[in-house]
Amino acid sequence: MKRLLPLLLILPLAGFRPVPPPPPMPQDGPVRMTLIDRDRGTELRSHAADGQRWVAGERGHRYAVRLYNDSPRRVLVVLSVDGINAISGEDADPSQTGYVLNPGQRADITGWRKSQDEVAQFVFSSPSGSYASRTGRADNIGVIGAAVFEEARRWPLRPEPLLRRGAPAPAAADASASRMDGYSARSQAPSLGTGHGARERSSVRDTAFERASRTPAQVVQLRYDSARALRARGIVLDPPSRLPREPQAFPNRYVPDPPTR
């Protein structure tokens, strides 16, 4: 007998709204994920290092997890923050409850789900002040993951363009899913976590969704830490604003007078 899970569809009031598809980006599945600094109103740029993507957060700033569904079908996204399901508060696992995104929809997840009408804001905090640490689960601080499931088709559809590579084999999918719960680079302790911030309104409603497979079609992961910590890892955050000036054979049009002594 199948276990029925509550799945949440975000209402427009919560900031989930259809938008024109953004420019396509290289990806391995239907969903793209970025972080938004809500206090600055900017998207946090990601940096590739050690086979992972990193973003630099700032302690005390509120942030949102922005999800783009680039596919023409609904998808289910199980969201993990610091190894914790952002809706249920359980130790995150891909089989759990998540958010359903409509085709072409952009969604900003702004906090820990407290009810169908409210969340506690995601806030960059000290590791000791993070929700994970305060609930005795500090092992996975500094990582955000999304397990994406496609919807089972209930009726024949016309052929559509292939938007991603085929779903991985079960063994590969299980390995990918396990990376949501932890990360390999543990040599340096994180200097940022995600706190349980102030309450704010965010409305959702229950919806039905049948997964096309038991394993995720896609697993996305972002690591985050302070800018200082990322630089200590050798990650270049700020490329030089000006290149060294090269000598020029023709810097001026006319010969100026020499300085007087």
pLDDT by residue (tens digit) across 160-191?
433 332 333 333 334 333 344 443 444 578 89
CB 111 within 8 A of CB 91: no
How much is the pLDDT for 240?
Answer: 59
How much is the pLDDT for 239?
Answer: 66
CB 211 within 8 A of CB 14: no
How much is the pLDDT for 116?
Answer: 93
How much is the pLDDT for 161?
Answer: 38
CB 86 within 8 A of CB 112: yes
How much is the pLDDT for 255?
Answer: 73
How much is the pLDDT for 46?
Answer: 93
How much is the pLDDT for 148?
Answer: 97
How much is the pLDDT for 185?
Answer: 40
Residues of the chain with pLDDT under 70: 1-8, 10-27, 154-187, 239-245, 251-253
For residue 161, the one-letter residue type is P
Provide the token pair at 232. 């200590």
Instruction: Please give the share of the chain, as a percent, with pLDDT higher than 90.
Output: 62
For residue 55, the one-letter residue type is V
What is the radius of gyration, based on Cα positions, of the chain?
Answer: 22
This model's pTM is above 0.85: no
Alpha-carbon distance 254 to 110, whole Å? 60
H/E stretch holding 26? none
Query: Domain locations in the chain?
Result: 7-232
Provide the token pair at 77. 């996204």
